[in-house]
Amino acid sequence: MTFSQPAPDAPFFVVINAASGHVDAEEVMACIGGIFDEAGRRHEFLQVLDPSQLSSTAEEAVKRAIAQGGVVVAAGGDGTLSAVAQAVHGRGPAYGVLPQGTFNYFGRVNGIPQELEKATRALLRARVQPVHVGRVNGRAFLVNASLGLYPQVLQDREKAKQQLGRNRWVAIYSGLRTLAGHVRQLSLEFEQGGKRRVLKSPTLFVGNNQLQLERIGIGEAAALDAGQLAGIVVRPTSFWALLWLALRGALGKLGDSDNVESFAFKRLSVSPHGARRAKVALDGEIQWLDTPLVFEVPEPLPLMLPLPEDRVEVE
């Protein structure tokens, strides 16, 4: 699929999540704005001061971009990038990214510089290219989606950080507490290609980022190049076995475990037994979605991809 290129002077509408607490929004805007001013490029910042306003702010950016032939730009971590991509997807405007998070899997896998100044200058010369995204029940995701144990880990970790502070040891402590207390096994009915099966598992993880999947050792990472998603299911197991699996993932050997099943797909329907709604993590952000959960590969996203000479190698 090809997309039309925005005009060389197309304005940028930059959504910046000042409520995330990870960046100094004023400093970030000063850096971006200075580079755009130097290049004579029209731009407008749309700040998100309340996390609950992220989606509506992204929608406003899309409306302005459509009206003025502009580009919607997301400045933030993977969660912010995902929310803005959801607003852009299928609507027409090109989508630009200025990574500001911790992992930045989406930006890194697409060769976007991680330094703000370099990323901003690269955006000025970038060209639209279609990139692969995933979708569940109409909600786009860039990196991953999951239900069960993983969303609970994320939710508990955020609560712990609010109470004890944001650092790595708080995150580790919270994760161990969740693993120790999470004994519920989900009964999941899968439908893929007209075939049905039922699996019990504490979690389902759907990956859409080759870099992340390679880092944890999942062989289906290569399937993303064929326009598919990667599903990962953990078989019912004990706390210590789950802890060992987490360590294997950190060492890049998760896919070698007998307790892990991974598979590639283009469309997958998942029905948790007895649940009308399910808690799903989309790129780290928690959503409640009606069941069944339908994971699929929709039309691509029109990403402003840096020119080859501006791209950085994946580290």
Domain that holds residue 234: 140-296
H/E stretch holding 58: helix 54-68
Give the total number of structural domains in the chain.
2
4 lies in a domain? Answer: no
166 conformational bin, left if phi > 0, alpha if psi -120 to 50, beta if neither? beta
Residue recorded with tokens 């109470």: 163
Residue recorded with tokens 């948790």: 272
The answer to whether residues 158 and 126 belong to one domain is no
Q: For residue 22, give the nearest of 95, 96, 103 by alpha carbon.
A: 103
The answer to whether residues 111 and 207 belong to one domain is no
The answer to whether residues 67 and 90 belong to one domain is yes
pLDDT tens string, the chain, 315 residues long: the values are 668 899 999 999 999 988 665 568 899 999 999 999 999 999 999 999 888 899 999 999 999 999 999 999 999 988 899 999 999 999 989 999 998 877 789 999 999 999 999 999 999 999 999 999 999 999 999 999 999 877 666 665 566 556 656 555 545 545 556 555 655 788 999 999 889 999 888 889 999 999 888 888 888 778 888 899 999 998 867 665 666 666 666 667 777 777 888 899 999 999 999 889 999 999 988 899 999 999 999 999 999 999 999 999 876
Model pTM? 0.87
